[in-house]
Amino acid sequence: MSAQLERLIQALQLQPGVGPRAATRIAYYLLDQRREEAKQLGQVLCEAMDKIKLCQCCRNYSDEERCEICKNPKRFESGQLCVVESPSDVAAIEQSNHYFGRYFVLHGHLSPIDGVGAAELGLQQLDQIFATGTIKELILATNPTIEGDATATFIANLAAKYKIPEVTKIASGVPLGGAVDTIDPKTLISSLMNRRPLSASGSVV
């Protein structure tokens, strides 16, 4: 087989979910039918990896020093700050279209065994944001895992110094549309312990 083709099939497997068979299929498809577009994909890849940086304000991916969200003054009005583990969490929350405050992206969670501490998560920068005294509500939206919860607790302690009026954590429980009898026991326990009064109209108070 052509050495270039072999190299291409190998390189394509860098992508998660793309194994040797899929990579081979992709390589032949691109060569057979989409050479020009594939070259463009190559250029876009190089450019994106070179140019996408972290917003100096929230550490989300951004083309400029400050991301679109941090450039928008309306995002600062509510005084809400939502802390998430990864940029894809920001994208998910933005898509839900129910939160209009600002964000802070940790790019991971505390994990001493992997050498991820406060510095790697930009917690000093977060501390500086707390110090401005502009945050009225700190929303911790880390993943409901052992590491995510530990990270949320650590940040809540950090926030305690600055007397932030409200520190909340997003709810975990049975996902909407899910079935109680198929959910794992730990989620079910959390869901029971965090039960909330239900009004006569059927809405949760």
Q: How many binding residues for a copy of itself (CB under 8 A)?
A: 54
Nearest-10 Cα torsion for 153, 159, 165, 171 = -20
Part of the chain binding a copy of itself (CB under 8 A), chosen from 85-93, 109-117, 142-150, 154-162: 85-93
Question: Between 4 and 33, how does the x/- string for binding to a copy of itself read (CB under 8 A)?
Answer: xx-xx--xx-xxxxx---x-xxxxxxxxx-
- Whichever of 32 and 181 has its CB closer to a copy of itself, that residue is 32
Pairing of strands 80-84, 137-140: parallel
Report, in Å, the least distance between residue 6 CB and a copy of itself: 10
- Whichever of 22 and 150 has its CB closer to a copy of itself, that residue is 22
The DSSP string of 151-164 is HHHHHHHHHHTTT-
Nearest-10 Cα torsion for 137, 143, 145, 147 = -70
If binding is defined by CB under 8 A, does position 52 make contact with a copy of itself? yes
If binding is defined by CB under 8 A, does position 186 make contact with a copy of itself? no
**Burial class of residue 198 (count of CB atoms within 10 Å of its CB; 0-12, 13-18, 19+):** exposed
Give the dihedral sign, CA 51/56/60/66.
negative
**Burial class of residue 140 (count of CB atoms within 10 Å of its CB; 0-12, 13-18, 19+):** buried
- Whichever of 7 and 161 has its CB closer to a copy of itself, that residue is 7
Among positions 56, 72, 78, 88, the unique one binding a copy of itself when judged by CB under 8 A: 88
If binding is defined by CB under 8 A, does position 101 make contact with a copy of itself? no
Report, in Å, the least distance between residue 105 CB and a copy of itself: 11
Distance CA(169)–CA(158), nearest Å, equals: 15
Residues that bind a copy of itself (CB under 8 A): 1-5, 7-8, 11-12, 14-18, 22, 24-32, 34-52, 61-63, 67-68, 86-88, 91, 94, 107
